[in-house]
Amino acid sequence: MNVATDRLTEKKQVRSGLTWRRLVFLAGILATVAMGAVALLLGDIEAGVVAMGFAVATWLTRVRRGTLGAIGVALASVITLFFMLTAAVTNIRAGSAMSSVFVSAGLAAVALLGLVAALGFLTRRSSPSTTGPWAAVISSSLVLIGLVVWGASTARAETKAGDIHLVAKNVAFTETELATTAGEVTVTLENKDLFWHTFTIEELGVDLRVPVGAQLPITFDAPPGEYEFVCDIPGHTEAGMSGTLTVEG
């Protein structure tokens, strides 16, 4: 009886405009395309995996009642929203390039839309109202606009001459052997992958965390010796993100 009622309600909603089920499907497609485009442009394997996750979940929203697909979209959106929203805020505060702010803030807004759409579908799919889905679209758009405007008013940080510049791309550091002199050392890490990377030296208490597109410095005191630096994101050290910092006296 409930299944028949849900189908009848959904048919009425389809004729009246945007429904929660239609919105979660469209949000899933948007997330798949956006994440897939970023994966191709950055050559990022992790982004490609997330895009595939969104694609599978989106397809499942069209299977039977779509509950499993909506749950999948919600989970993928939560993960993406956490990383991208924190990345957007960090990029804005650091004065990173606007392109970096657009990428992280845009994906955060897409993930927010997917999460709200999935939750709306799971909790209110029997509701005949179509104002909720449109409110979700508008609120997600406002989040993106607000983040971008905030970022536009922030100046970009500069890297000083003599600093060590390290790039993280394709889950790898561009340099695995770094050298400097003892004393105050400044390392700037530039992240060209979608998800976070770190420059971590446990022996010296160094832990610099950098989101997509950001270029952040860290200054620390280093006595003579050799120190291992790694990316402390789970799985990244095992993937080969490590190297040696040699500090000469």
User: Residue-wise pLDDT tens for the chain (249 aa)?
Assistant: 455 555 555 555 444 467 888 888 989 998 999 889 888 887 788 889 999 999 999 999 998 888 999 999 999 999 998 888 888 888 877 777 777 777 888 888 889 889 988 988 888 766 555 566 666 666 666 665 565 455 444 434 444 545 789 999 989 999 999 999 999 999 999 998 888 999 999 999 999 999 887 888 999 999 999 999 999 999 999 999 999 999 987
| Residue 22 C-beta-side C-alpha neighbours within 13 Å | 15
pTM exceeding the 0.85 threshold for the entire prediction: no
Q: Indicate whether 148 and 210 sit together in one domain.
A: no
- Indicate the angle between helix axes 67-94 and 131-152, nearest 10 degrees: 20
Q: Indicate whether 189 and 137 sit together in one domain.
A: no
d(C-alpha 50, C-alpha 77), whole Å: 10
Q: Indicate whether 9 and 94 sit together in one domain.
A: yes
How many domains, in total, are found in the chain?
2
> In this structure, is residue 46 part of a structural domain?
yes
Q: Indicate whether 237 and 184 sit together in one domain.
A: yes
Last residue of a domain, one of 86, 119, 152: 152
Using alpha carbons, select from 184, 182, 187 the residue that is nearest to residue 197.
187
Contact 92, 147 (CB under 8 A): yes
Q: Could you list the residue range(s) of the whole structural domain that residue 202 is in?
A: 164-248
d(C-alpha 90, C-alpha 74), whole Å: 24
> In this structure, is residue 59 part of a structural domain?
yes
